[in-house]
Structure 1
Amino acid sequence: MNAQPQESFSMTWLDRAYDEYVRSSHVVSAQQLQELSPVGRRPRLGEYVGQLWQRRHFIWADARAKALGSQRGTLLGNAWLIVKPMLDSLVFFVIFGILLQTSRGIDNFIGYLIVGVTLFPPLQRAITGGSQVIRNGRNMIRGFSFPRAVLPISYTLRSAIDTLPPLVAVLLLVMILPPHALPTWHWALVFPIFLLQFIFGLGLTFFAARITALLPDMRNIWPFLTQFWFYGSGVFFSYERFVNHPTMLSFMDVNPGYLILTMYRDCILYGAVPNGRSWALLAAWSLGTMVLGFVFFWVKEVDYGVER
């Protein structure tokens, strides 16, 4: 007889408690509703830049932790960062300088070759290595929510750090090897050129990362394209010796790879200040490629975590 009233009282108490919980805990204001955003939506460009800035310490820590690590497990370790470019220079010197005589008409051909063989490959790696950043970072993409541009930026910073030891080796070698390019104040201009080179490289990485993420077969094509760029950028020869057509020569002069190497050589080997046209062209290439590459990458932000 008493069981039914007791059960009715219990249910009434539970109903009141539930109603009270709903009223106190689940009231959402109109302002809070406006601040909600759908999951997986691409943030606005300004908001995206702000998110990257908030993660600047992580980007730097990640780049620094991975830098100078490509030769781990080898006997010489990071010494290969210096030894390998020097061996490459020796091969090109024998084949092109001695056998094919591309050195004719070039002052300090040894230094000319060392600068080209050492400082052009970072541009190639910006494309070939940068194209893999989304694939290599897929575990992070699956596990965390963050702006995907973190990955190309971190890779470019790491590449810049990796290039510093070979750059120092270039400066030492051109002093040691005849005809001896001695330090002058022009060497200070190496640093703004280096900065512009890696801003340009960041833009290339943005382009390559997006294209390869959406079209994975491109990772097999980039090495061929960058190799063609390498041989067409005056790494071991001077354009003037082989090209007589003024229009074609002018077109080749705007090649950013050749432009960067020429500016390095002017400062390091020949004690000359690169002309204003060269600075303007390199700045335009660097800033333009970086800005366009960043926007190009951001447009497909929500697609980088999709399995293909």
Structure 2
Amino acid sequence: MRHTAVADPDSELTQAQLAARYGLSFAGDRPKLAAYTRQLWSYRHFVSAYATAKLVASFSTARLGRVWQVLTPLTNAAVYFFIFGIILGTRDGINNFIAYLCVGLFVFNFTSSTASGGVQAISGNLGLVRALHFPRGCLPLAVMLTQLQHLITAMVVLVGIVLATGEPITVEWLLVIPAVALQSIFNAGLAMGMARVGAKITDLKQLMPFILRTWMYGSGVLYSVDRFAENLPHPVLVEIVHANPLLVYIELIRHALLEGSPLSSPVPQLWIMAVAWAVVIGVAGFIYFWRGEMEYGRG
């Protein structure tokens, strides 16, 4: 009896062709940008739970616990008010300097803490990165969300300070919501960008305090930015200072909460710059982090 050989339809195909036919991909291959975005969205509950757990853990060893979320910004405000407002006299020409200073400190701290945490989002969690499979973007996003929770608590305190110092409640207070939303998008992109840089350059965390301190002095946190800008040698540098994203977000919230707060740019221009910074840094930081997705935790 003769047996007729049946040809294997896959025998003539290369490995690449077989992979394409059966929908296989390389182990550890970077997902497409759209697929990566969907992965992050599917992990949104993990990001929220992880951020809340980090927030609770950060005060777990303190006797007063999460009361320090309120005490820390208030203590910083008291110190800076004494040094800059009283001793150096930077409050001259600024109505309600206490509230002015608190807005600057609380809003600046939201971004500065996110940037510092973003630098260590990957390098400080290598055990988690190497042990579990998940989109690494969850970690810097959790950093931003943790700091957003800090800001929300601080804003409750800030409202009390603003009312106690005589500011009236106006409909413009509602503008704080879109301003914080835009700053959150900016911070998310910043955290993701800093996370990738920090994963490559682990010594960056040592430089961050100096970088952030310099950024603070150019952001009108402790005084009107005009005091800083008037000493710059070239008008182009003044324009750069006025376009500083942190100054933009700080001034938008000051304008919303405080009457007569000095502004470096017209309000419509501030909103345009706020949207532009959120879109540019939010998108660029996300793409930059995604491009390094398969590098994290190696080496």
TM-score, normalising length: structure 2: 0.87
Match of 1:80 in 2: 68
Deviation at 1:246, TM superposition (A): 4.9
Deviation at 1:296, TM superposition (A): 0.6
User: Aligned partners of 1:241 and 1:214: how far apart in 2?
Assistant: 37
Match of 1:304 in 2: 296
User: Aligned partners of 2:274 and 2:243: how far apart in 1?
Assistant: 9
Count of residue pairs the alignment pairs up? 278
Match of 2:241 in 1: 252
Match of 1:119 in 2: 107
Contact kept in structure 2, 1:119 and 1:167, CA below 8 Å? no
User: Aligned partners of 1:134 and 1:243: how far apart in 2?
Assistant: 36
2:79 to 74, 81, 91: 91
- Secondary structure in 2 matching 1:105: coil
2:126 to 138, 141, 166: 138
Which has more radius of gyration?
A: 1
Match of 1:104 in 2: 92
Deviation at 1:163, TM superposition (A): 1.5
Match of 1:201 in 2: 187
1:224 to 181, 185, 210: 210
Structure 1: where are the runs of 5+ without partners? 1-28
Amino acid corresponding to residue 204 of structure 2 in structure 1: M
Contact kept in structure 1, 2:183 and 2:278, CA below 8 Å? yes
Q: 1:84 to 1:51 in 2, by over 3 A?
A: same
Contact kept in structure 2, 1:202 and 1:290, CA below 8 Å? yes
Contact kept in structure 1, 2:119 and 2:191, CA below 8 Å? yes
Contact kept in structure 2, 1:186 and 1:271, CA below 8 Å? no
Deviation at 1:229, TM superposition (A): 0.3
User: Aligned partners of 2:71 and 2:200: how far apart in 1?
Assistant: 36
Deviation at 1:243, TM superposition (A): 3.3
Amino acid corresponding to residue 297 of structure 1 in structure 2: F
User: Aligned partners of 2:229 and 2:35: how far apart in 1?
Assistant: 49
Q: 1:35 to 1:106 in 2, by over 3 A?
A: same
1:192 to 174, 178, 181: 178
User: Aligned partners of 1:61 and 1:80: how far apart in 2?
Assistant: 21
Of all paired residues, the percent bearing the same amino acid is 35
Structure 2: where are the runs of 5+ without partners? 1-16
Match of 1:8 in 2: none
TM-score, normalising length: structure 1: 0.84
